[in-house]
Amino acid sequence: MSKSNASQRLPRAKGIDMANLYSPKECTRKAKHLILSEVNQRIVKEFIEILGMREEFEQHGVPVPNKIVMYGLPGTGKTLTAFYMAKVLELPLVLVRLDAIIHSHLGETGSNIRKIFDYASAFPCVLFMDEFDAIARTRDNNDEVKEMARAVNTLLQCLDDFGDRSIIMAATNLEKDLDQAIWRRFDTKLIYTVPGQEQMKQYIEILIGEFECDPSIFTETCRQLARCSFADIEQIVLKAKRKAIIERMPLQMKHMQNAIEEYKPIIVAAY
């Protein structure tokens, strides 16, 4: 299914599409810088392998997993993992726009959730819901949140009815806020933390690529950026490369140092 044909049928709310649609080719470009922890690599690899053995699992009466929830610190690769999954499975990615789904009118949020699930069930795809806690929060008895409680009930029904030909992936930084019944619907869970030293060095090498640089910058940059997210590391390296280009010289530690001081990355505690 081409992006142009599918996008014509995207459900709409508030006058805008409820999702953005990306082709597998577009997902390949988005996911090129993804680095996963060893544990997440193993889980993702097994998940994909199982999908390729669907008939064998069905013969044994073992359900094939198709629901992944990703949680952890911001900027650590959750969204990129969704793009990577769509790329590897050669499926379009349906990236849900929560600003379009959530509505102040009674019943509209639940109705919009059902519409986006119906859309994603119509053809094989990867349905990705970022900031999942916005629609999957723990249900409460307070009158103020009864509307969102109804939305969670609708979400639970949609998860139960979701076929196994498409994949649903959800990401959150606030996993403790998710309703426990929502948690139980997901068969695969991925935890994301800031990169370790080896992951960081590998990521910086990827970001610098063929750009001429002083080889000594890697060790010191890794030391200074310990406990930073992948997203912050990327912005700092790009800023440093811009400085080197302006000066028409190879990338040096002074460029990295200046970029770090200007960007002021967030140093996070262990997750």
Q: How confident is the model at residue 164 (pLDDT cuts 50, 70, 90)?
A: confident
Report the distance separating Cα 12 and Cα 36, nearest Å. Answer: 34
Amino acid found at 55: E
Looking up tokens 């009864």 gives 146
Question: Is residue 209 a contact partner of residue 242, using CB atoms and an 8 Å limit?
Answer: no
Q: How far is CA 55 from CA 43, 52, 108, 161, in A?
A: 20, 8, 39, 21
Q: Name the nearest CA neighbour of 148 among 95, 182, 106, 115.
A: 106
Lowest mean pLDDT among 161-165, 232-236, 248-252: 161-165
Instruction: Specify the pLDDT at position 104.
Output: 65
Instruction: Specify the pLDDT at position 8.
Output: 56
CA 78, 80, 82, 84 torsion: positive or negative? negative
Those residues whose C-beta lies under 8 Å from the C-beta of residue 244, and which sit 6 or more positions away, are 211, 213, 250, 251, 252, 255
Q: Does residue 134 or residue 82 have the better pLDDT?
A: 82
pTM of the model: 0.88
pLDDT per residue as tens digits for the range 179-236: 899 999 999 999 999 999 999 999 999 999 999 999 999 999 999 999 999 999 999 9
> What's 130's DSSP letter?
S
Instruction: Specify the pLDDT at position 2.
Output: 44
Whether the predicted pLDDT of 155 surpasses 60: yes
Question: Is residue 160 a contact partner of residue 168, using CB atoms and an 8 Å limit?
Answer: no
pLDDT per residue as tens digits for the range 12-65: 887 889 999 999 999 999 898 899 999 999 999 999 999 999 999 999 999 999
Q: How confident is the model at residue 7 (pLDDT cuts 50, 70, 90)?
A: very low
